[in-house]
Structure 1
Amino acid sequence: MSSVPAALSEATSLKADYKMAKNPLLERFKTAANVDAPMRALARITDDALKSAWSACELSASFALVAVGGYGRGELAPHSDIDILVLLPDDPVPGSEACIEKFIGLAWDLGLELGSSVRTVSQCIEEAANDVTVRTSLLEARRICGSTAVFEAFALRYRDALDPRAFFQAKVLEMRQRHAKFQDTPYSLEPNVKESPGGLRDLQLILWVTRAAGFGSSWRELEARGLITSREARELRRNEAFLKTLRARLHLLAGRRQDILVFDLQNPLAESFGYSASAGKRASEQLMRRYYWAAKAVTQLATILIQNIEAQLFPSTSGITRVISERFVEKQGMLEITSDDVFERHPSAILEAFLLYEETPGVKGLSARTLRALYNARDKMDQHWRRDPENRRLFMAILKQPAGITHAFRLMNQTSVLGRYLLNFRRIVGQMQHDLYHVYTVDQHILMVLRNLRRFAIAEHAHEYPFCSQLITNFERPWVLYVAALFHDIAKGRGGDHSKLGMADARRFCREHGIPADDSALVVWLVEQHLTMSQVAQKQDTSDPEVIKRFAELVGNERRLTALYLLTVADIRGTSPKVWNTWKGKLLEDLYRMTLSVLGGAKPDAHSEMKTRKEEALALLRLETVPEIAHKVLWDKLDVGYFLRHDAADIAWQTRALYRHVETDTPIVRARPSPIGEALQVLVYVKDRPDLFAGICAYFDRNGLSVLDARVSTTKHGYALDNFIVAHTEHDVHYRDIANLVEQELAIRLAAAGTLPDPSKGRLSRLSRTFPITPRVDLRADERGQYYILSVSANDRPGLLYSIARVLAEHRVGVHAARINTLGERVEDVFLLDGYGLSDNRRQIQVETELLRAIAA
């Protein structure tokens, strides 16, 4: 029995020793400009702790304790997993499992976060053959203690079994799959410093494949072998040191393993590097810009290295495939220069390379030699180069190509050519956006918008947005749209209205590149107005003919309308996967069609539009065998506004549901999968009361249904006829399955009298907590003085809409219509309110004050 206290005492002592050795190292991590030394020191003290535990557990002398993975390299970040292998001979000592379990338990007791495996030599070789991850982990195996003989036997068999070519191919494929998870860009606003493209994993991958091939296991050795130049080796060491230091300090701030640069840690992380907030720029923005430039350099240099490694591993496939021109040849699908100094002698060949990349079938990228020459020719891309008429011609030719534009511009940005040609574009490379709905840096957002426009024009993608594809097919000179895409956000971060500032940049570009006056005017106008169409569609009452008339006057002609529509759809889609939805697409398309009609000479006439919709709805009702005049009793109770706010299909659906229940005392609720996108359409018909809208919102709030759109009508005999489009917060919901449940539960809820429940205390998202926006409420009379327009801007959170509706209900303010607009983590909601009672200034101020309090809670 005395051995148990002794074992506990020994574990306590070992743990105290390890902690005493580790704490000073953690302090070094906080201040070291290069963390290589503390990372190696942490690995050494971890070795010592594991040796002590191994010795205390008296394991067999035929076993070996082996460090693998990053720990095998002799490096540990503050909270990295400690990956170990207990290596056994192929005929291990029977009954040794208890000792091994004791050792692993003791290591955990010491505070070591182990990733452990127990295998024989043969099992290691077998697992490595079947799993490239295991093969990679064992590549850097390092003996800590135990049997030298069994470790050397393993190392010899591992080396004999390792096929460098197969390993290279597997790791490159793995890298491509990993990059695809991050949309092939390092420019996410919350990148993974280890796994994202341009992160530490890319650097580790290169050293893994070169180690496996026997080419070297350090940048110095790769330089000596000629795989990289001394300048490239210096850049790689510098960026690797920065990324390692960034990751180590991220671990310390989080107090655990943390590889994602989350928003709430970016600012304290920046301060640890000595950055401080300046006019217009947070400390975090300055740090992240440095990170993006480092990731960009790593991506560029890694591409060069991987191609060079491939050429040495597969020399028989590295010859010239065909001659393209005096300056360029193709080598196995890569565009290669004919001499290393071609860009020095002929600077215009820099842009020519990207034009040939687009024009030449079969070319899928730039060779390592070409990329290296571009990297070394940066000094040639100066003011004289930018003003050269030949380079301006080449740049426009790149923009006008029928294919390859997206890939060419991404590659131009990756190689810094785009930023050196368009200096203002260089200013927004790696620039963050804190508007809560963009998930990319400004430069990547611009390239995403360009990509989206290009996809509209590609037949293989016509099924995604058929209406956009139809429009762009008939659009003369679509390259005009690409120019507008390049400049629409180029002035972000300069202070002031980026649309106005961007106009000047676009105008100058068009003048310098000889773009005809009409096309130039369109580009400049698009940059100025690129936000207008989404604002009109999502924030204004497009059922009002005056709204359409004003928008048509602003647009002026069909070409401008089509260009603005295409740019708007591409722009919204390029902000974040969360922002675009089919409902927003319908709002924009409806606005386009209504405006086109007015531009074609149709006069916006509410009564003729109402007549048309009634006729179309009646035709649909006849198909449903609804009696010929059955609709009349309901329609006589509806005003013009109802017919203008709903299309014919909705009018027919609602009429079919209600024509027998026009004077009902029982709430009628009908629900169906929305004809537009993944959502549920809910119809509510009940005697009106002041708290009705709030009560409906309360039900949606409690059941995880987010309101995308609300169209509220009041009949002439005092009934509310409300139509909602709602989406569930869980994306895998089948709306057909929940439609009946919503109908029953909401009808019961509306029939039961009672006070409104308190709003749910939904938490702000982490992004909203890090970048809160100032809540804003604007309440003002419309032009006719009949209604009041309430505009609300706030961070989104569960229960927000109900909180607003509850305040309005408490002041007996009726909601006539609602336009719910969610932009990522921000809401921009607009409500049309009954004006009764709001004309009193004191009451209006009271309502605004309570609304501000509700949305800020």
Structure 2
Amino acid sequence: MTASTVTLPPLPRLPVAVPRSGVSSEARRALRQLLGDLDRAIAVAFRDGADASELARRRSDSATRIVAHVWTACLGDVADAALFAIGGFGRGLLFPYSDIDLLALVEQPDAARLRALEQCFATLWDIGLKVGHAVRDSAQCRTLAAAEASVFTSLLDARRLAGDAALDARLRAIVDAPDMWPPHDYLLARLAERDARHARYDDTAYNLEPNLKDGPGGLRTLDSLRWLGKRLAHASDFPDMVTEGLLDPAECDTLLQAEATLRRYRFALHLEAGRPEERLLFDYQRAIAARLGFEDEHEKNLGVEQFMQGYYRAASQVERLGIQIAERFEEMLEPPSAVQPVGADFIRYGARMAVRDPDLFARRPSALVDIFIARLDEKGVIGFTADTMRRIHQATAALDGRLADDPQVLASFLRLLRRGAPAVDALWRMNRHGLLAAILPAFGKVFGRMQYDLFHVYTVDEHTLRVLRNVARFADPVTQAEFPLACEVWTTLPKPEVLLLAALFHDIAKGRGGDHSVLGEEDARAFGNKVGLAEEDIERVAWLVRWHLLMSTTAQRQDITDPDVVHRFAEAVGGRERLGQLYLLTIADIIGTSPRLWNAWKDRLLADLYTATRYALRRDAKPSAGAAVRAQSCREQALALLVADGKPAEAVVRIWDTFPMVSFLRHRPEQIAWQTTAILQGEGKLPLIAVNPLSVRGSTELFVYAPDRDGLFANVTAMLDRLHFSVMEARVLNSPDGKAMDTFLLLEAETQKPATQERAEELHQRLQRALAQSAPIMPSRRSMSRHLKHFQMTPRIDFKQSDGRTQMALVCSDRPGLLAAVTQVMMACEVRVHDARIATFGERVEDFFQLTDRKNAPLSETQQRRLWQALTERIGPQSLSA
């Protein structure tokens, strides 16, 4: 059944209201029943495919009749008093749970009239209408409208429902007064409101739980464009703006189609939530997707992802056109400027560029790219003229399907990329005009594509553009303090276009099914050949796309202090230039995925892997020094540090006699020196706790030196959980004389930053007291966040035997106190932990442990099955309801 064949619920038939008789109890019950029947009929019509805008208008028309009926019954046909609908109701739209905003314009608000108004509004509430109302006279309206742009804006939509018709003119006189928010002032006010509103929603349309009404690209943006059209150009709707030259027909159609999508989603959201909810929360996304008929295509293109892609595309189109139309309004109000030439093809009027020849883009499509290149060289240019923006859109639409294969267009595009970092700003602007997707059709396919998880907080296209912007930051001297190594590496890149192309293509195959890195590599090769890139550069781009996750997975999931790990990574990378490109792409990718993912620990981790790999790539570097040689080198460096600090060498050596050799393999000399100093200062008192607020690894380092006992590791993790620390890495070692030597790298759970001095001292004291007692420490019980509850998965647990230990890989959903719960299970299963690598990706955790039984032997198959079952029961989705 199509929307055109669905019968809309009829408008309510009401008896003629008896003026000033009030609404009886029986009549109120009848009105409540009528409203309930109407809302149920509207919900059924929507389910059957009726158009959301038509249903919102029908609901508004019905409410108009009921409100007018109640007004007449309570006030009658009074002079100098009228009731106006404002807000969405004023525009003739009411969604299922939208408020009804009313303005009572009353010139003589005597006591009797105020009592009647009170009765009117109380009746409306009683029958089930959520009413927001204001009572003012025309002088108050004028004063408030002059003081606040929001009040003035509300009057633009005012629609009289009942009462004295003469008050229409009084309200209109306020809105039409020349001194009431002149066009330039009103434009500035609306832009300021837009910026403030966007800032509340992270300044992006791509939030995981976007606000359909007030977020960037939401329905409020469309309302704002109409308000600007009314005030600045006497154009009350988008077709009128086409007549005024502010929009072309294609842009008008785009806005109307996007608006239809947003209204449909908002209608479904209200029905699903059962309240005036405006955010597409995870709680509702899957259910609404199913309600609207979206189905899973495959595991990498879920129905909910298709549903959200519809939102992101609509919101992005609204946001882009909204920015451009606002720029056109600004241009419309600017005084004319003298013409200045910009090369052979372009000119500028003040701060805006234009084409000399109106037919340039049709005659030479490569000029579509060239104008963005020219803009890079023109200081003070803030945009293109309205006519030029329109011509860019029209040419892009007319040439769609041809730009991607036009040799001259591709040559200009490559010339732009060879500008390096400045090219990124041009790419952002080309994307806003739809040109980037026209040149790279594969990029158009990921436009608005989301991934249903908490790790990727932006759509693929938005993420890609942010990665490009992060790459460009490495060329900016201002970021030298934040990214000193990355900025240094950037200066060594001979061809920045290689890295820019890799950033463009690294996620371009998301959502197709299969490995997006492999598919993206194929796309990158094809594009490189098409634009005439040198064969060696094509190989570089393709390799970076194929292996863009290699560095982050190696750093976070493997022990990069192990030379064998570093050498395997170095062999995979193969050269220093490729290493530098991968290092920069990895940092840009992590930050562009979610700003919360980047922290000092990851910064240090990647820098360490980069530095170690550069050394390994030297021609004279040996594949791997023997363990004894590496341990001896660490001892010598640590001893030199300690002696330089005034520590007696004999005392140091005596302590080291009780250290296992693996300490000198798994720790840096600086760490060994710090641990040794702590033991010397402890003077034999155990348990010994040492905390370094900011260690060389970009995190807070905790060292626990105590008599070894089963459950020690579990107790420490439980206390860290209580104190809200995240464990990034754990090393659990045992000395020959029976002491545990456990090292933890920590970050604050909330901020993902190292601890302050005060927090480090708190950790020291609390853990010292806890470990001095024999009682087990239980993790704190904290409720799971609403977000995490929607992304719980059955744990995936894999075991394998290696070097006399059992390696366990745990992939599961994150939750508060997860590591503490895991270690509690291990303790109950009589399993010892010897090493741990902790990695969290959004809602997904990937932890790696080295385990043995209580006799330090690998786990048997029976023990593995027992541990698997216990972990699955403790941390699986079913445990949430236990």
Q: Please confirm whether the aligned pair reaches a TM-score higher than 0.5, indicating the same fold.
A: yes
Matched, 1:254 2:273: yes
Gaps of 5+ in 2: 1-21
What letter matches 1:362 in structure 2?
G
Matched, 1:266 2:285: yes
**1:452-483 residue CA offsets vs partner (Å, 9 max, x unmatched):** 11111112222321211111122222221111
1:727 aligned residue = 747
Offset of 1:629 from its aligned partner?
4.5
156, 164, 168: which one pairs with 1:139? 156
What letter matches 1:744 in structure 2?
Q
Matched, 1:634 2:651: no
Cα gap change, 1:138 to 1:461, in 2 (>3 Å): farther
529, 547, 563: which one pairs with 2:581? 563
Matched, 1:377 2:395: yes
2:305 aligned residue = 285
Q: Judge conservation of contact 1:69–1:137 (CA < 8 Å) in 2.
A: yes
What letter matches 2:498 in structure 1?
V
What letter matches 2:96 in structure 1?
P
Matched, 1:578 2:596: yes
Q: How does 1:667-816 map onto structure 2 within 5 Å?
A: 667-675=687-695, 680-731=700-751, 735-755=756-776, 757=778, 760=781, 762-763=783-784, 765-782=785-802, 785-816=803-834
**1:321-373 residue CA offsets vs partner (Å, 9 max, x unmatched):** 42213432223433322344322222222222222233332233333322322
2:188 aligned residue = 169
What letter matches 1:754 in structure 2?
A
Partner Cα distance (1:303, 1:48) in 2: 38
Offset of 1:110 from its aligned partner?
2.9
Q: Judge conservation of contact 1:499–1:527 (CA < 8 Å) in 2.
A: yes
Q: How does 1:525-674 map onto structure 2 within 5 Å?
A: 525-600=543-618, 601-603=620-622, 604-605=624-625, 606-607=627-628, 609-611=630-632, 613-614=634-635, 617-618=638-639, 621=642, 626=647, 629-661=650-682, 663-664=684-685, 666-674=686-694
Cα gap change, 1:488 to 1:54, in 2 (>3 Å): same
Offset of 1:207 from its aligned partner?
0.6
2:535 aligned residue = 517
Partner Cα distance (1:384, 1:68) in 2: 48
Offset of 1:613 from its aligned partner?
4.4
1:220 aligned residue = 239
Offset of 1:550 from its aligned partner?
1.5
Partner Cα distance (2:80, 2:635) in 1: 89
1:67 aligned residue = 85
Cα gap change, 1:425 to 1:11, in 2 (>3 Å): same
1:329 aligned residue = 347
Q: Judge conservation of contact 1:304–1:367 (CA < 8 Å) in 2.
A: no
1:408 aligned residue = 426
TM-score (norm 1): 0.91
Q: Judge conservation of contact 1:583–1:676 (CA < 8 Å) in 2.
A: no
TM-score (norm 2): 0.89
Q: Judge conservation of contact 1:756–1:806 (CA < 8 Å) in 2.
A: no
Partner Cα distance (1:114, 1:321) in 2: 55
**1:664-699 residue CA offsets vs partner (Å, 9 max, x unmatched):** 3x4233335334799644332221112111111222
Partner Cα distance (1:607, 1:119) in 2: 87
Cα gap change, 1:751 to 1:117, in 2 (>3 Å): farther
What letter matches 2:379 in structure 1?
P
Partner Cα distance (1:535, 1:403) in 2: 27
**1:540-580 residue CA offsets vs partner (Å, 9 max, x unmatched):** 11222211122222222221221111111111111112222
Partner Cα distance (1:151, 1:384) in 2: 54
Task: Describe the SS at the equivalent of 1:26.
Answer: helix
Task: Describe the SS at the equivalent of 2:235.
Answer: coil
Query: Which moved further from structure 2: 294-303 or 35-44?
Result: 294-303
Task: Describe the SS at the equivalent of 1:193.
Answer: coil
Task: Describe the SS at the equivalent of 1:37.
Answer: helix
What letter matches 1:692 in structure 2?
L
Matched, 1:196 2:212: no
**1:762-817 residue CA offsets vs partner (Å, 9 max, x unmatched):** 43x544444444421112122xx232221111111112112211122122222122
Partner Cα distance (2:113, 2:502) in 1: 71
Query: Which moved further from structure 2: 165-174 or 31-40?
Result: 31-40
Query: Which moved further from structure 2: 555-564 or 295-304?
Result: 295-304
**1:62-118 residue CA offsets vs partner (Å, 9 max, x unmatched):** 5443322222212111112222234343x6436876665555444333333333334
Offset of 1:617 from its aligned partner?
4.3
Offset of 1:655 from its aligned partner?
2.7
Query: Which moved further from structure 2: 381-390 or 331-340?
Result: 381-390
Cα gap change, 1:477 to 1:282, in 2 (>3 Å): same
133, 154, 162: which one pairs with 1:116? 133
Q: Judge conservation of contact 1:66–1:86 (CA < 8 Å) in 2.
A: yes
Q: Judge conservation of contact 1:192–1:261 (CA < 8 Å) in 2.
A: yes
Partner Cα distance (2:700, 2:572) in 1: 35
Task: Describe the SS at the equivalent of 1:832.
Answer: strand
2:264 aligned residue = 245
Q: Judge conservation of contact 2:719–2:777 (CA < 8 Å) in 1.
A: no
**1:151-180 residue CA offsets vs partner (Å, 9 max, x unmatched):** 643442343123122111221233244345
What letter matches 2:515 in structure 1?
D
What letter matches 2:671 in structure 1?
D
Partner Cα distance (2:583, 2:231) in 1: 53
Partner Cα distance (1:137, 1:217) in 2: 14
Q: Judge conservation of contact 1:633–1:659 (CA < 8 Å) in 2.
A: no
Task: Describe the SS at the equivalent of 1:574.
Answer: helix
Offset of 1:428 from its aligned partner?
1.9
Cα gap change, 1:801 to 1:364, in 2 (>3 Å): same
1:851 aligned residue = 871
**1:180-221 residue CA offsets vs partner (Å, 9 max, x unmatched):** 555554334433222333322221111101112352212232
Partner Cα distance (1:730, 1:382) in 2: 47
1:464 aligned residue = 482
Matched, 1:306 2:326: yes
What letter matches 1:228 in structure 2?
L
**1:402-440 residue CA offsets vs partner (Å, 9 max, x unmatched):** 453222112222322222222222222222223541111
What letter matches 2:861 in structure 1?
N
What letter matches 1:711 in structure 2?
R
Query: Which moved further from structure 2: 444-453 or 433-442?
Result: 433-442
1:493 aligned residue = 511
Report the aligned-residue RMSD.
Answer: 3.0
15, 27, 30: which one pairs with 2:44? 27
Q: Judge conservation of contact 2:23–2:123 (CA < 8 Å) in 1.
A: no
Q: Judge conservation of contact 1:694–1:809 (CA < 8 Å) in 2.
A: yes
Task: Describe the SS at the equivalent of 2:571.
Answer: helix
Q: Judge conservation of contact 1:674–1:725 (CA < 8 Å) in 2.
A: no
Aligned length: 846
Task: Describe the SS at the equivalent of 1:779.
Answer: strand
Cα gap change, 1:853 to 1:256, in 2 (>3 Å): same
Cα gap change, 1:427 to 1:151, in 2 (>3 Å): closer
Q: Judge conservation of contact 2:804–2:857 (CA < 8 Å) in 1.
A: no
What letter matches 2:520 in structure 1?
G
What letter matches 1:233 in structure 2?
C
2:3 aligned residue = none
Task: Describe the SS at the equivalent of 2:596.
Answer: coil
Partner Cα distance (2:523, 2:824) in 1: 47
Offset of 1:285 from its aligned partner?
2.4
Q: Judge conservation of contact 1:14–1:110 (CA < 8 Å) in 2.
A: yes
Offset of 1:711 from its aligned partner?
2.4
Offset of 1:398 from its aligned partner?
1.0
